[in-house]
Amino acid sequence: MKNTNLKLAIQKNGRLTEDAVNFLRSAGLQFENYKQKLFSSCRNFPLEIVYVRDDDIPDYVESGAVDLGIVGQNILNESNKDVKNIMNLNFGICSLSIAIPENSDVKVVKQLINARIFTSYPNSTKKYFKKKNIPVNIIVVSGSVEITPALGIADAIVDLVATGRTLALNDLRIIEKIYDSQAILITGSKNNLSEEKQILMQKLINRFKKVLSGISSLPVEKLII
Ligand code: ATP
Ligand code: ZN
């Protein structure tokens, strides 16, 4: 990995991976198959793409270990890192929502007073219920949150929802949305980039903007690598 190159972190293996790779390729960046690698060097731009767990991306960006990252807005909302959103990327669209069992008597959030709420997003959940002045018991689990109502341990869950299919499969329904989320491009708030790197970053951002506005000037054959 060349240190003078820009570094961009994306999720190694998850819901954002394929869309992030496609997005970068549609901006004309050429790089090898990412699946077995920890990083790829772009062939046609001084950029290293680094593959990591999505939860680690804000830390790496904040500390300057990488210059840029692609991550769900939800991860930032939950972790409060000192990074800034350069642009929304229009994929990874989902929402953090409160869901209850299909057959629950609860109709409005207020009725969740003292409820047991399972989530992987304790900070966002705490903040939401505090603002609404509703005391609840928040229990943190790292995954498969949707199963907890069926196990009889949760009255409600707070989880990311995209299509709602997983909720429906688990006999759950949404009663409230806490926030919307999508993939975003982030950079450190206090990064001290060299002038060369700043120029490179601006070039890259300009390309990304073109892709997003649908006026990428790149020839089509470059889009399919
Ligand atoms: P990692 O192993 O990298 O920690 P993960 O299991 O935490 O992965 P994924 O489930 O792959 O994360 O989700 C990555 C991101 O995809 C989420 O943080 C969110 O921004 C976005 N996303 C979009 N739709 C959904 C959905 N239905 N459920 C969960 N995440 C979604
Ligand atoms: Zn994660």
Task: Evaluate if residue 9 carries a pLDDT over 90.
Answer: yes
Q: What global pTM score does this model have?
A: 0.93
Lowest mean pLDDT among 130-134, 164-168, 191-195: 191-195
**Per residue in 200-222, pLDDT tens?**
999 999 999 999 998 665 554 44
* Residue located nearest, by CA, to atom 28 of ligand 1: 160
Which of 117, 130, 103 is CA-nearest to residue 158?
117
Q: How far is the CA of 14 from the centre of ligand 1 (A)?
A: 6
Neighbouring C-beta atoms of residue 211, cutoff 10 Å: 19
Average pLDDT along the chain: 93
Task: Evaluate if residue 35 carries a pLDDT over 90.
Answer: no
Instruction: Please indicate whether residue 160, judged by its CB atom, sits closer than 6 Å to ligand 1.
Output: yes
Residues less than 5 Å from ion ligand 2, measured at CB: 54-55
* Closest atom of ligand 1 relative to the 73 alpha carbon: 20
Lowest mean pLDDT among 43-57, 131-145, 211-225: 211-225
The pLDDT of residue 216 is 63
Instruction: Please indicate whether residue 58, judged by its CB atom, sits closer than 6 Å to ligand 1.
Output: no
Instruction: Please indicate whether residue 14, judged by its CB atom, sits closer than 6 Å to ligand 1.
Output: yes
3-class secondary structure per residue, the chain: CCCCCEEEEEECCCCCHHHHHHHHHHCCCCCCCCCCCCEEECCCCCEEEEEECHHHHHHHHHHCCCCEEEEEHHHHHHHCCCEEEEEECCCCCEEEEEEEECCCCCCCHHHHCCCEEEECCHHHHHHHHHHCCCCCEEEECCCCHHHCCCCCCCCEEEEEECCCHHHHHCCEEEEEEEEEECEEEEEECCCCCCHHHHHHHHHHHHHHHHHHCCCCCCCHHHCCC
Task: Evaluate if residue 2 carries a pLDDT over 90.
Answer: no
CA angle 19, 22, 26 (to 5 degrees): 135
The pLDDT of residue 80 is 86
**Per residue in 116-137, pLDDT tens?**
999 999 999 999 999 999 999 9
Mean pLDDT of 78-91: 95
The pLDDT of residue 146 is 97
Mean pLDDT of 110-118: 98
Instruction: Please indicate whether residue 18, judged by its CB atom, sits closer than 6 Å to ligand 1.
Output: no
User: Taking a C-beta distance cutoff of 8 angstroms, is the pair 134, 110 a contact?
Assistant: yes
Instruction: Please indicate whether residue 188, judged by its CB atom, sits closer than 6 Å to ligand 1.
Output: no
Task: Evaluate if residue 140 carries a pLDDT over 60.
Answer: yes
The pLDDT of residue 225 is 32
Task: Evaluate if residue 138 carries a pLDDT over 70.
Answer: yes
The pLDDT of residue 36 is 77
* Closest atom of ligand 1 relative to the 75 alpha carbon: 18
Instruction: Please indicate whether residue 55, judged by its CB atom, sits closer than 6 Å to ligand 1.
Output: yes
Instruction: Please indicate whether residue 162, judged by its CB atom, sits closer than 6 Å to ligand 1.
Output: yes
The pLDDT of residue 217 is 55
